[in-house]
Amino acid sequence: MKKSLLIISIILIYATRMIAADSVYVSQTKESRYDRRIHRYRKHWAALIPMQFVIQNAGNMGAISAGIGWNYGKRKQWETDLLFGYIPKHQSSRGKLTTTLKENYIPWSINLANIFPNATDKITQQMSIEPLTASIYLNTVYGHEFWKSQPGRYPDKYYEFMSTKFRLNIALGQRVTFQIPKSKRWRSKSISLFYEISTCDLYIRAKFQDGSIPLKDMLGMSIGIKFHTL
Amino acid sequence: MRYITIFLTICTYLSLTSCGSWFDTHPYDINIHGETDINTHNIAAIEKENANKETFRVAFISDTHLWHSDTRDEVANINNQPNIDFVIHLGDLTDTGTTKEFEWSRDILQQLNCPYVALIGNHDFLGTGDQTYNVMYGQMNFSFIAGRVKFICLNTNATEYDYLAAIPNFDFLEEEMNKNSELFDRTVLIMHAPPYSDQFNNNVCKAFRRYLDFLPGLMCCVYGHCHNHEINEFYNDGLLFYGIDNAEHRNYRIFTFTPNGYEEELVNY
């Protein structure tokens, strides 16, 4: 009798320990306000992880620019790029750095597989074309010779029409996007090749002042590559 | 992937270096296509062609800014004038100092049938404009001699330097009083901004006038900047300052220098 009581009590102690070790405390199952804040905090900062990487030449923002970007919108038709460019020395005293904030709108993306449903080749399966990209971008150039607005040494409204530091540019272009098959992905899920025809505020202003300025002198070409990571 | 990146970077680099005019680096990049150091070349031509002339004719134009159509008409009008020996542009070749604007105005001025020199105007300083001027035209203070008359071209845009630089440069004026004195008897002083204008260092207006007394046989001064064709006597002492109008107002001046003096006419076109 005594023996069986001892065994039962030992089993009970074990069982209790096991249950206790395996049970979840109520306080842990309920998300605390702290947890919710941290989740939000992580989610918001996660939205800032760059979704794309861009390299492009020219476009009035340096000989070559590189940067990061984000896309958003229902069809990811909006993109914001932050680019850093380098202007070579050319005939001046030194090279210069620029920063550009660029907003792109891509109204259409046409998947070739939808147009040619019977095609079986890889290119058609993986390629899409974006027949129009419209961009507006603000470029700033670093250097003592450039000012944001006219310095105090000038009389009022002397060069009121301009800033030598900031340039507003507009561009129209086109691009093609290749989906990378999952088995061959390295970091990017797709790659876009694009070109743009752009001009800046000073050239548009010049064209308004004198219509005889040829369009080819106002417009500049730019080509680039964009890696879509997320 | 990595190969694609490398390949495209190389492509971009090549496209960038080979056909530069297709790809715009920056409005203020000073990537000049075409002729540079123009004043040096043209001064050599002017001095050679006019060394032994007793009478010669000079057209003065100014402030062409972005009025390209008017400037083209101006150039055509000068080309139709008989016996113009050279042209002096008094500054403001551009409106915002971009490299392309410098190329545009240069390409129009190169249609002239005679050599020309250009001074720097205040608008040509914007951004990297002053450096572009140095490469495309040369020094901001310069002089040359034609038919025993010395033309002294002086940078007077003091405001562009916040009055911190030696503008107008009195040392340069002093040098010019004596330099090559055996080759000239008379002087004409040329500047973009005249005394008492918003660009001149007006603290030295009177001191400046005193220096001019030491220029051998100073005949007159010629200036631009003000966009009018007034003839001023800023110091009320007989020294005439001829204003050259901007291209938009469609007039300019021709000076005929003779052994006894000069004649001046205003040409409307």
Is residue A64 within 8 A of residue B16, CB to CB? The reply is yes
Q: What pLDDT is attached to residue A30?
A: 79
d(CA A89, CA A73): 40
Flag if B24 and A224 touch (Cβ within 8 Å): no
Structure tokens at A51: 């979704």
Q: Which two tokens stand for residue A182?
A: 């999952």
pLDDT value at residue A9: 74
Assess if residue A211 is contained within a domain: yes
Structural domains of chain B sorted by starting position, each given as residue range(s) with its CATH number in brackets: 24-268 (3.60.21.10)
Q: Which amino acid is at A198?
A: S
- How far, in Å, CA of B91 to CA of B118, rounded? 6
How many domains does one find in chain A? 1
Residues 144-203 of B with CB under 8 A from A: 159, 162-163, 198
B95 touches chain A (CB under 8 A): yes
Q: What is the ipTM of this complex?
A: 0.90
pLDDT at B18: 45
The residue among B45, B119, B120 whose CA lies nearest residue B85 is B45
Taking only the tens of pLDDT, chain A with its 230 residues reads 567 777 777 777 776 666 666 665 655 677 899 999 999 999 999 999 999 999 999 999 999 999 999 999 999 999 999 999 999 999 999 999 999 999 999 999 999 988 888 887 878 888 999 999 999 999 999 999 999 989 888 988 888 778 999 999 999 999 999 999 999 888 899 999 999 999 999 999 999 999 999 999 999 999 999 999 98
Residue A195, amino acid = Y
Interface contact flag, A57 B23, Cβ < 8 Å: yes
Task: Find residues 8-47 of chain A whose CB sits inside 8 Å of chain B.
Answer: none
Centre a 10 Å sphere on the Cβ of residue B15 and count the other Cβ atoms it contains: 17
Query: Is residue A55 a part of any domain in this protein?
Result: yes
Residue A135 sits in a domain of what CATH number? 2.40.160
Phi, psi values for residue B26, rounded to 5°: -170, 150
Angle between helices B205-212 and B170-178 (to 10 degrees): 10
Range(s) of the domain holding residue A209 = 44-228
d(CA B131, CA B28): 10
- Predicted confidence at residue B4, as pLDDT, reads 59
Q: What is the pTM of this model?
A: 0.89
H or E segment and range at residue A64: strand A64-72
Q: Is residue A21 part of a domain?
A: no
Residue segments in chain B with a per-residue pLDDT below the cut of 70 = 1-20
How many CB atoms lie under 10 A from the CB of residue B2? 8
Inter-residue contact B216 to B145 (CB < 8 Å)? no
Q: What distances in angstroms separate CA A165 from CA B83, B93, B104, B113, B159, one per listed residue?
A: 45, 21, 22, 38, 19
Interface list for A 78-117 with B (CB within 8 A): 87-88, 90-93, 96, 98
Residue A98 lies in a domain: yes
Residue A144 lies in a domain: yes
Question: And the tokens for A213?
Answer: 């300025």
> Are residues B104 and A56, on separate chains, in Cβ contact within 8 Å?
no
B204 touches chain A (CB under 8 A): no
How many other CB atoms are found less than 10 A from the CB of residue B248? 16
The SS3 call for residue A80 is strand
Burial B203-215 (b: 16+ CB within 10 A, else e): ebeeebeeebeeb
In a domain, A20, yes or no: no
Residue A26 lies in a domain: no
Phi, psi of A61 (to 5 degrees): -130, 25
A27 Cβ contact partners less than 8 Å away, ≥ 6 residues apart: none
CA distance A186 to A184: 6
Task: Let me know if residue A4 belongs to a domain.
Answer: no
